[in-house]
Structure 1
Amino acid sequence: MVLEVKSLGLLEESLEVLEQSFQGMPAFEAKALGDRERDILLQVAERMQDNYPYPHPLYAGQMLKPPHPIARLAYMLSMWVNPNNHALDGGRASSALEKEAVAEIAEMFGWDKFLGHLTGGGTMANMEALWVSGRLHPGKRILASSMAHYTHGRISEVLQLPFTAVAADDQARMDMAALENELKKGDVGTVVVTLGTTGVGSVDPLHKVLELKKLYDFRVHVDSAYGGYFGLVDNLDDNAAIAYSKLDQVDSIVIDPHKHGLQPYGCGCILFSDASVGRFYKHDSPYTYFSSDDMHLGEITLECSRAGASAVALWATQKLLPLNRGGEFANGLADGRKAALELHKQLQDDPKYKTTFEPELDILIWAPDAKTTQEISQKSQALFDLAEKNHLHLALLELPLNLAKACWGDSVEYNSETVSCLRSTLMKPEHLEWIADIKRIMDESLAEI
């Protein structure tokens, strides 16, 4: 079986414990489900068959990592109560669990004083970071690498803040010379540093940005929605390792537990090193904050209703798999990176393929060998389609020509505006054991082109 179901017995046992909290109340039982509900649920199961096999190691395309079984169970368990972490009267227990879980994430970055909370995902978390930046530096520009997630430009537009994309170097990292040219203009409020771009997995040189901060007045926001946990591993290259070591010196950080953190969607997290930015969230509500004098999470978020289930699932996962260097969780991340490095090496040694830069995290980009970029794009699409028929699921990426030229030099004729390449996110620890199968299917599929 691909789907893990043996753990469902633990859910029933846990629900019996949860039921004890209602002892002493008048008897009440919701209407039992019957044949109609059964028929609809089976229809749902049939409709859900129209999916890629995300949990399987042969799914090696987009950044889709199955939640840990304990996260699924804890999430489902909490849904029998359905807590809302906007206010304590809607989610007392889950709010406490959120504060504890977020504090553990902050500690991973070296912060013991901070302001932070969970969000529905990285987009909302980044919006809060840039919203605070706009309050601190009204009207000043937001800068991010051209390889950064498109959400920063979109969010800046929503917030009516000017945005500029900074050129990337030949390793797909933010170019420091181009960044300083923008900083010299004197109108920059925030520089977004990406630790783990979602396209190619590149790590911007945070340490070099912090050196520029000594010369120019700007905030540093780190978007590590994808790559935030990799500071726990011990097999990073020098650029990535030193960048992660400087995270305690930035102004704000975004991380998505629903990516490498083994959580169900949606679970993002925003952290500010200066807790006093909470003043910008200050508001009053006539009905939601009456149950306690303690701080409600809704008083430090832009979102209102938020699933307390996300906090419950995250807390349970971090209790099982603490965020420690050298621990089981960190070793799983390291295995994904090992898998990416191993597949990159095998492709690099195989003349049938063209590789790009060595993976910095667990994403790699490559393409079938050909004489022109148009032909490479055509063969990449064909290999993508054939691999899927052979149960290997990859992804495609449009690589800018300047990055392609940096990798391939004059070995290719550049006769298109971009070049389609194949992309894999090897984020499951099991991928390391499946590299031989992945490469075999790729070779067999390529032979059919």
Structure 2
Amino acid sequence: MINDNTLDILKDALATLGEGFSGLPPHTETADSAALSAVLQEVAVRLQDNYPYFHPLYAGQMLKPPHPIARLAYQLALYVNPNNHALDGGRASSAMEKEAVSTLAAMFGWETYLGHLTSGGTMANLEALWVAGRLAPGKVVMASSQAHYTHSRISAVLGLPFEAVPVDRFGRMDRAALEARLERGDVGCVVATLGTTAMGSVDPLPEILALRERFGFRLHADAAYGGYFGLAQNLGDSARAAFDRISAVDSLVIDPHKHGLQPYGCGCVLFRDPSVGRFYKHDSPYTYFSSTELHLGEISLECSRAGAAAVALWATQRLLPLTQGGEFSGMLTQCRSAALTLYERLAADPRFVVGFPPELDIVVWAVRGGSARAVFEEAARRGLHLALAELPGAFFGLATPTVTCLRSVQMKPEHAAHEWQETLWSLLSEATELG
């Protein structure tokens, strides 16, 4: 089940990498091969205690396997182990990070920007809200009640007041509720979520942009999960309208370690106005004097960052360009197609209660007259791994305040294949009958 047929490719690439350092005096790592093998075998056994995140029957949380090129490039870079905090620590990988980030910025329509990779969406969002707080000290940060919980936590870390905006029955930020709160003043930043964690809902960005024109707040887009879906060919009208306007926000984040096919951790923060780099200014008396060029450590809050992450992302984007209608775009289109197919089957089955159709590739449903948790556990016994979510009953037309739901993230392109759809449905149906 674990694919090892790419190891020869890695060996060939390692030989090429070694040629670049052939002028150095001989030096060989000293290690006891038998001891290495024994410990690594122990590690392999320990790692068996995992869900099969790489397999199509893992359809629960947002865990997408890295593309083979990303795994190989990451492993190759580890033999050098560059640190992208500064040019001294990773010359090649720093250049590759800048190129990879420029490609991401271009996907959002930005030629002029400031940005870099981070360890993930949490750190990326922290940097965006940190800048927002520097521009509007002490003012309120607002995000929808379905936004990721880290926004309230980050705001607390930064000493900024946070308020949640109610959502409509589609899980999107309620425009009227936001407008009413803005009229009271003292709002410094509004976070629009393009792909909520629970349901993949996309906030009404065009309407929020119109409110920005009236009230003058800073607008940040949390596209950590959904950011790449602007390339999908089959979005609904509301989501399409939001992604078509994303270039107008002040800052945004995207997580390549979600739909970008990267290993953990790889996030990215981008600012439309490069002048916010002034907030990062620092004087270091002890490191990094080999170049007068602006280095990545001068535009990030994180210091040491894995250069291997940049190398893996660069390689993936080289193999799979971020273009409309290309192979990568097709993968996203397949993911949403899989989610729509699953939703339609659930909607037609009287055993289940569905809400609104998925905007991206996340499907959520309740079990009519049964226990979602029991079905979850029974499905897992059959090898189908789903997730659970506690969501407002209003999303499903139910009178109860909340309902425990089953949730499936159809984020592997294989999920669109008929055979996997049928296998998933068969196992779900069996689990529902017994759950």
Q: TM-score range by the shorter chain?
A: over 0.9
| Partner of residue 394, structure 2 | 402
Report whether the alignment pairs 1:391 with 2:377. no
Q: Return the offset for 1:297.
A: 0.1
Q: Distance in 2 between matches of 1:261 and 1:340?
A: 18
Helix, strand or coil at the partner of 2:364: strand
Helix, strand or coil at the partner of 1:89: coil
| Partner of residue 303, structure 1 | 302
Q: Distance in 2 between matches of 1:320 and 1:311?
A: 14
For structure 2, the residue ranges without an aligned partner over 5 or more in a row are none
| Partner of residue 177, structure 1 | 176
Q: Distance in 1 between matches of 2:91 and 2:175?
A: 46
Q: Distance in 2 between matches of 1:43 and 1:174?
A: 48
Q: Distance in 2 between matches of 1:259 and 1:33?
A: 37
Report whether the alignment pairs 1:425 with 2:414. no
Helix, strand or coil at the partner of 1:116: strand
Helix, strand or coil at the partner of 1:427: coil
TM-score w.r.t. the length of structure 1 is 0.95
| Partner of residue 281, structure 2 | 282
| Partner of residue 373, structure 1 | none
Greater shift, 31-40 or 151-160, is seen at 31-40
Q: Distance in 2 between matches of 1:437 and 1:448?
A: 17
Please list the CA deviations of residues 73-129 of structure 1 after superposition, one character each: whole Å capped at 9, or x if unmatched.
000000000000001010000000000000000000000000000000000000000
TM-score w.r.t. the length of structure 2 is 0.98
| Partner of residue 63, structure 2 | 64
Summarize the alignment of residues 217-256 of structure 1 with structure 2, pairs less than 5 Å apart.
Answer: 217-256=216-255
Please provide the CA RMSD for this pair.
Answer: 0.9
| Partner of residue 341, structure 1 | 340
Q: Return the offset for 1:401.
A: 2.8
CA contact (8 A) 2:121 2:224 kept: yes
Q: Distance in 1 between matches of 2:71 and 2:285?
A: 35
Q: Return the offset for 1:18.
A: 0.5
CA contact (8 A) 2:85 2:305 kept: yes
Summarize the alignment of residues 94-113 of structure 1 with structure 2, pairs less than 5 Å apart.
Answer: 94-113=93-112
Q: Distance in 1 between matches of 2:32 and 2:238?
A: 56
Q: Distance in 2 between matches of 1:388 and 1:408?
A: 28
Q: Return the offset for 1:302.
A: 0.2
Please list the CA deviations of residues 170-205 of structure 1 after superposition, one character each: whole Å capped at 9, or x if unmatched.
000000011001111110000000000011100000
Q: Distance in 1 between matches of 2:397 and 2:151?
A: 30
Q: Distance in 1 between matches of 2:338 and 2:381?
A: 23
| Partner of residue 422, structure 2 | 436
Q: Distance in 2 between matches of 1:52 and 1:291?
A: 46
Q: Distance in 2 between matches of 1:91 and 1:287?
A: 17
Q: Return the offset for 1:399.
A: 1.0
Please list the CA deviations of residues 228-268 of structure 1 after superposition, one character each: whole Å capped at 9, or x if unmatched.
00000110001000000001111001000000000000000
Helix, strand or coil at the partner of 1:144: strand
Report whether the alignment pairs 1:448 with 2:406. no
Matched residue pairs, number? 433
Letter of the aligned partner of 2:405 in structure 1? C
Please list the CA deviations of residues 380-417 of structure 1 after superposition, one character each: whole Å capped at 9, or x if unmatched.
011000000000000000012332xxx335xxx63xx5
Letter of the aligned partner of 1:42 in structure 2? Q
CA contact (8 A) 2:366 2:403 kept: no
Q: Distance in 1 between matches of 2:246 and 2:403?
A: 34
Letter of the aligned partner of 1:97 in structure 2? M
Q: Return the offset for 1:418.
A: 2.1
Please list the CA deviations of residues 300-349 of structure 1 after superposition, one character each: whole Å capped at 9, or x if unmatched.
00000000000000000000000001000010011010000000001101
Helix, strand or coil at the partner of 1:214: helix
Letter of the aligned partner of 1:443 in structure 2? S
Q: Distance in 2 between matches of 1:33 and 1:84?
A: 27
Percent identity, aligned pairs only? 60
Q: Distance in 2 between matches of 1:367 and 1:94?
A: 46
CA contact (8 A) 1:289 1:296 kept: no
Letter of the aligned partner of 2:118 in structure 1? T
The 4+ residue runs of structure 1 with deviation greater than 4 A are none
Q: Return the offset for 1:33.
A: 3.7
Helix, strand or coil at the partner of 2:340: helix
Q: Distance in 2 between matches of 1:298 and 1:218?
A: 28
Letter of the aligned partner of 1:441 in structure 2? L
For structure 1, the residue ranges without an aligned partner over 5 or more in a row are 371-375
Q: Distance in 2 between matches of 1:4 and 1:285?
A: 45
Q: Return the offset for 1:356.
A: 1.4
Report whether the alignment pairs 1:202 with 2:201. yes
Q: Distance in 2 between matches of 1:443 and 1:30?
A: 54
Q: Return the offset for 1:288.
A: 2.4
CA contact (8 A) 2:191 2:219 kept: yes
Helix, strand or coil at the partner of 2:58: coil
Q: Return the offset for 1:293.
A: 1.1
Helix, strand or coil at the partner of 1:11: helix
Change (3 A) 1:348 1:402: closer
Summarize the alignment of residues 45-60 of structure 1 with structure 2, pairs less than 5 Å apart.
Answer: 45-60=44-59
| Partner of residue 357, structure 1 | 356
CA contact (8 A) 1:60 1:426 kept: yes
